[in-house]
């Protein structure tokens, strides 16, 4: 089972919700931080790091310039202007490359050979207390400073997560990047359900609408968590009613919650009504994901 926690607007509470869900999840759970540009899930989960691997994307490099006959096939197939051909041999702009491998494949003389561009790192760790929660893991992607593209690293993170989930039988809870462009789309692609965390303000409503449209084609059922629900207006709830989106939870604005977030204390540790709300949310999310898996 794979659940993605996403949003239109940033700062709505995705990471806070994702951390809490993973911690109260009743089955083995792998929390995945796919917000590789600014991973912050570990601020709540405080995992004990077990492995850290470099991630790279395959890019072309000029291996045998003397073999080039100027045919230009490499430049012609490239959709991203990462390979130019106008002289004695191709000129490669590795940072523009999306890793399709087309140029290397079409060169008739083997001028271009595979090289690598470093994307960043993937960290893996155990996020639960050894005695009480041995079955909670974290996988986090961390984009290299200077790297412009997140989706290739996000895809690597999700591949690593799928492998660990297969090995352990864990469900996956993904903390997605904010927004609705390429990074968010890459993070939610395989999800069985998408939880959108929204805030009840005009910007929150507008960006929730964008997110619903962006993720509609993905096909997974969508549920909404309204965060700081008593602070704004009721237009988000009205929008959900009108579009048939289930409101999975309404989390109130409480100073103690804000203080906990500031100290990296996950919601479930607050006990009382907050813990009850998070546990109920986890049940609702699981039901939504089961619905998604049946389609």
Partner 1 sequence: MTRIATSARGSAPDDGVDPRFGRAKGFVVFDTATQAWSYIANDAACDLPQGAGLAAAERLARAGVGVVLTGSVGPKAAQALAAARIVAHEGRFGGLVRQAVADHLAAPEHGGE
Binding site for partner 1 (CB under 8 A): 75, 80-82, 84-87, 91, 93, 96
Q: What is the DSSP letter of 253?
A: P
Nearer to partner 1, 13 or 99 (CB): 99
Nearer to partner 1, 97 or 248 (CB): 97
Q: What is the DSSP letter of 176?
A: P
Q: Please report how close the Cβ of residue 108 comes to partner 1 at its closest, in angstroms.
A: 20
Nearer to partner 1, 103 or 174 (CB): 103
Q: Please report how close the Cβ of residue 97 comes to partner 1 at its closest, in angstroms.
A: 11
Q: Report the DSSP beta bridge partners of residue 194.
A: 4, 222
Closest by alpha carbon to 211, among 21, 38, 12, 33?
Answer: 12
Q: Alpha-carbon dihedral of residues 143, 149, 151, 154, nearest 10 degrees?
A: -10
Q: Please report how close the Cβ of residue 46 comes to partner 1 at its closest, in angstroms.
A: 38
Query: How many angstroms separate the CA atoms of 224 and 209, rounded?
Result: 11
Nearer to partner 1, 29 or 82 (CB): 82
Sequence-ordered alpha helix ranges (H) in the chain = 14-24, 42-45, 73-77, 102-106, 151-168, 182-188, 202-216, 235-243, 255-262, 272-293
Q: Please report how close the Cβ of residue 87 comes to partner 1 at its closest, in angstroms.
A: 6
Nearer to partner 1, 81 or 269 (CB): 81
Q: Alpha-carbon dihedral of residues 90, 91, 94, 95, nearest 10 degrees?
A: -140
Nearer to partner 1, 75 or 162 (CB): 75
3-state secondary structure of 41: coil
Q: Please report how close the Cβ of residue 98 comes to partner 1 at its closest, in angstroms.
A: 10
Q: Please report how close the Cβ of residue 35 comes to partner 1 at its closest, in angstroms.
A: 23
Exposed / middle / buried, residue 247 (Cβ in 10 Å: 0-12, 13-18, 19+): middle
């Amino acid at each position: 089972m794979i659940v993605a926690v996403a949003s239109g607007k940033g700062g709505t509470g995705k990471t806070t919700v994702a951390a809490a869900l993973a911690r109260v999840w009743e089955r083995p759970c792998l929390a995945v931080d796919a917000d590789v540009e600014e991973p912050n899930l570990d601020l709540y989960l405080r995992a004990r790091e077990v492995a850290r691997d470099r991630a790279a994307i395959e890019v072309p490099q000029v291996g045998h310039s003397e073999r080039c006959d100027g045919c230009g096939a490499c430049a012609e197939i490239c959709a991203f202007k990462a390979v130019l051909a106008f002289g004695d041999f191709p000129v490669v702009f590795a940072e523009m490359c999306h890793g399709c491998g087309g140029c290397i494949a079409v060169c008739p003389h083997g001028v271009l050979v595979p090289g690598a561009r470093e994307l960043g790192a993937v960290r893996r760790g155990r996020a639960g207390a050894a005695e009480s929660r041995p079955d909670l893991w974290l996988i986090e992607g961390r984009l290299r400073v200077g790297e412009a593209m997140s989706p290739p690293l996000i895809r690597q993170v999700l591949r690593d997560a799928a492998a660990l989930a297969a090995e352990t039988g864990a469900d996956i809870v993904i903390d997605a990047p904010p927004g609705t462009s390429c990074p968010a789309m890459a993070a939610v692609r395989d999800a069985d359900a998408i939880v959108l965390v929204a805030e009840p303000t005009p910007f929150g409503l507008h960006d929730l609408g964008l997110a619903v449209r962006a993720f509609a084609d993905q096909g997974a059922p969508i549920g909404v968590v309204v965060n700081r629900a008593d602070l704004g207006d009721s237009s988000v709830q009205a929008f959900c009613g009108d579009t048939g989106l289930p409101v999975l939870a309404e989390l109130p604005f409480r100073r103690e919650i804000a203080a906990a977030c500031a100290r990296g204390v996950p919601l479930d540790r607050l006990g009382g009504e907050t813990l009850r709300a998070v546990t109920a949310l986890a049940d609702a999310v699981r039901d939504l994901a089961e619905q998604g898996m049946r389609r």
